[in-house]
């Protein structure tokens, strides 16, 4: 078939093995066979995702077929919209990022003149929120995202709402892994970068070295002819923070940040949780239009009427303009963090849209039970499936240690390597989920909790969190998980034996013989080893068994009957041969 005539197969989310085989003009068995070769045991009704279908077509070297994604989602567009003539200036949305302990929280605290460092659970900020402050009569919105995981989630949802990323680097510590991650994030999100070289009050602070470090990582300081503004600060003492704010405003002026206000309001869900007496409490960042109380809004499969709206300090607000973070109540169910929201005309539209979004999400997520990740994993099973990745969280250090030590004691007969990705004291956090994402890592919690938002995030990212109060139960679970990683082995089970007393008909590919069952039984579907004297001369498959020339389900021990055998090679079965019946299956090894 010529390229131009390529047949187009449209896939909406996923396609069943049956549908794909029909579309390809291929038998279901050969498709299942190919999947099996890749290590996937599939049934005719199994659903394959787009990439898996594409990989299989590639593996089978089928030409002249083109796969196309059929778009079924009715999700609100999460791209930044084209601005109209009427767009007005809006405050910049700034994220503070950087390596742990380099002073992000301190910087935000000092900027906001409020202390939250002491209040943080275990020193780790649990969720993203947003604040707004004023400098020289102009507003700046800060996203509080001490963990980068929140950003990963936002990025996943395609919404690039950060205009400026302030990368905090401690002058006494230099560029560290999360600094590099922050640089990559900012570049990926197309955000402007400003570097805050922090802790300049410290003795070991070395500003030139930090700048050189940053230059080596692709950020050229303005002083050295590059385009990155770097401001030496002390977040703790407050040195130079005015300068930093000025630089933020200057950058935002150059960027000419604008938004439309004469459109239905829209934005992003940046946090959501349930509160006693209030129901859903949702933090939103408005990106367009003006959000007002009384409006109907939809975010993914959740919708509601904005009942109350307050700013980040809890002060009531009747209307929120672009770049404003607000907390609203009124959603009937919790929207997901990272979802876009949009204002609609009335409750009926809201309900309908939420339903459509729910269905679209279901189509996109739930329908494929074989995904390309599975496939790729299977393909490379030999090299990486034998590592069991875990993150261990415990209530106290002692319990973490004992869980880790006990896990190490599980005898895996050298088949599995235990990889402890991370350990920690306290509840499961966003960072744990972030680390576990995509890496097939199980998070074990011993005597700790899982906050609702973390559980939701984990469910969305398909990360497994398991909590236990009894260590043996945790260990049993880990053992079961490890067993799942063990390779399959071929297991043959002997089920019976027959002595051949006569051979009635021989063809090239089949034989009908008669004989007596000595032990066990004979059934259609069994395999049999043909044994002559002491030698095994071949293998045959039992097609059917007969008793007094009638097909039966089984020949039992002691019975004499007929047997139709399928030969895979040209093999002659003779009188006095023995047929040793057996079954052959693939079975998981056990520990």
Interface residues toward ligand GDP, by CB under 6 A:
98, 100-106, 117, 146, 198-199, 201-202, 234-236
Q: Which is nearer to ligand GDP, 201 or 311 (CB)?
A: 201
Helix (H) or strand (E) holding 556: strand 555-556
Cβ-contact 236, 242 below 8 angstroms: no
Q: Which is nearer to ligand GDP, 54 or 130 (CB)?
A: 130
Helix (H) or strand (E) holding 54: helix 50-59
- Chain centroid to CA 334: 20
CA proximity to 196, closest of 226, 253, 239: 239
Q: Which is nearer to ligand GDP, 106 or 252 (CB)?
A: 106
Token pair of 57 as six digits: 């077509």
Q: Which is nearer to ligand GDP, 201 or 395 (CB)?
A: 201
CB 288 to ligand GDP: min, Å: 31
Q: Which is nearer to ligand GDP, 104 or 523 (CB)?
A: 104
Q: Which is nearer to ligand GDP, 106 or 441 (CB)?
A: 106
CB 208 to ligand GDP: min, Å: 18
Q: Which is nearer to ligand GDP, 111 or 563 (CB)?
A: 111
Token pair of 550 as six digits: 């009638």
Q: Which is nearer to ligand GDP, 102 or 479 (CB)?
A: 102
Cβ-contact 253, 234 below 8 angstroms: no
Token pair of 137 as six digits: 């009569």
Cβ-contact 422, 442 below 8 angstroms: no
CB 269 to ligand GDP: min, Å: 24
Whose tokens are 């230099």? That residue is 174
Cβ-contact 481, 514 below 8 angstroms: no
Distance CA 557, CA 539 (A): 21
Q: Which is nearer to ligand GDP, 28 or 112 (CB)?
A: 112
- Sort strands 164-170 and 192-198 into parallel, antiparallel or unpaired: parallel
For 277-386, list the strands marked E by DSSP: 279-288, 291-292, 296-299, 302-310, 319-320, 325-331, 340-344
CB 171 to ligand GDP: min, Å: 9
CB 194 to ligand GDP: min, Å: 16
CB 172 to ligand GDP: min, Å: 8
Cβ-contact 546, 563 below 8 angstroms: yes
Distance CA 536, CA 532 (A): 6
Cβ-contact 323, 92 below 8 angstroms: yes
């Amino acid at each position: 078939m010529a390229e131009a005539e390529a047949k187009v197969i449209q896939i909406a989310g996923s396609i069943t093995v049956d549908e794909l085989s029909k579309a390809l003009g291929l038998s279901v068995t050969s498709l299942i066979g190919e999947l099996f070769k890749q290590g996937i045991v599939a049934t005719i009704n199994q659903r394959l995702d787009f990439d898996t279908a594409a990989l299989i077509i590639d593996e089978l070297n089928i030409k002249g077929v083109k796969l196309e994604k059929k778009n079924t989602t009715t999700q609100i567009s999460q791209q930044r919209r084209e601005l109209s003539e009427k767009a007005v200036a809006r405050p910049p949305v700034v994220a503070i990022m950087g390596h742990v302990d380099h002073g992000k929280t301190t910087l935000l605290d000092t900027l906001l003149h409020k202390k939250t460092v002491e209040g943080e659970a275990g020193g780790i900020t649990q969720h993203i929120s947003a604040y707004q402050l004023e400098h020289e009569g102009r507003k700046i919105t800060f996203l509080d995202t001490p963990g980068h995981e929140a950003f990963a989630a936002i990025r996943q949802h395609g919404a690039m709402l950060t205009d400026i990323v302030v990368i905090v680097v401690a002058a006494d510590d230099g560029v560290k892994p999360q600094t590099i991650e922050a640089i990559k994030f900012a570049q990926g999100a197309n955000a402007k970068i400003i570097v805050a070289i922090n802790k300049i009050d410290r003795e070991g602070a070395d500003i030139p070295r930090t700048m050189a470090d940053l230059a080596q990582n692709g950020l050229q300081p303005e002083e050295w002819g590059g385009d990155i503004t770097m401001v030496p600060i002390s977040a703790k003492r407050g040195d130079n923070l005015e300068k930093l704010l000025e630089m933020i405003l200057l950058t935002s002026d150059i960027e000419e940040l604008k938004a439309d206000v004469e459109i239905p309001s829209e934005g992003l869900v940046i946090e959501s949780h349930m509160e006693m007496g209030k129901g859903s409490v949702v933090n939103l960042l408005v990106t367009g239009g003006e959000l007002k109380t009384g409006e109907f809004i939809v975010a993914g499969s959740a919708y509601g009427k904005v009942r109350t709206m307050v700013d980040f300090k809890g002060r009531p607000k009747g209307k929120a303009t672009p770049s404003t973070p607000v907390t609203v109540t009124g959603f009937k169910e919790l929207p997901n963090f990272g979802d876009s929201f949009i204002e609609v005309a009335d409750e009926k539209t809201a309900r309908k849209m939420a339903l459509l979004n729910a269905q679209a999400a279901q189509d996109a997520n739930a329908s494929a039970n074989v995904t390309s990740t599975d496939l790729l994993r299977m393909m490379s099973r030999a090299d990486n499936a034998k590592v069991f990745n875990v993150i261990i969280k415990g209530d106290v250090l002692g319990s973490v240690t004992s869980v880790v030590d006990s896990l190490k004691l599980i005898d895996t007969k050298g088949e599995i390597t235990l990889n402890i990705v991370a350990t920690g004291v306290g509840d499961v956090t966003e960072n744990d989920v972030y680390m576990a994402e995509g890496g097939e890592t199980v998070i074990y919690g011993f005597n700790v909790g899982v906050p609702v938002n973390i559980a939701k995030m984990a469910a969305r990212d398909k990360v497994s969190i398991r909590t236990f109060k009894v260590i043996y139960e945790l260990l049993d679970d880990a053992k079961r998980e490890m067993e799942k990683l063990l390779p399959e082995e071929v297991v043959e089970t002997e089920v019976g034996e027959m002595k051949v007393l006569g051979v009635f008909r021989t063809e090239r590919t089949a034989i009908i013989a008669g004989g007596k069952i000595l032990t066990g039984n004979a059934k259609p579907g069994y395999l049999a080893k043909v044994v002559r004297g002491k030698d095994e001369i071949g293998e045959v498959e039992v097609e059917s068994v007969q008793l007094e020339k009638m097909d039966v389900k089984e020949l039992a021990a002691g019975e004499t009957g007929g047997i139709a055998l399928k030969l895979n090679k040209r093999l002659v079965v003779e009188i006095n041969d023995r047929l040793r019946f057996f079954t052959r299956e693939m079975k998981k090894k056990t520990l």
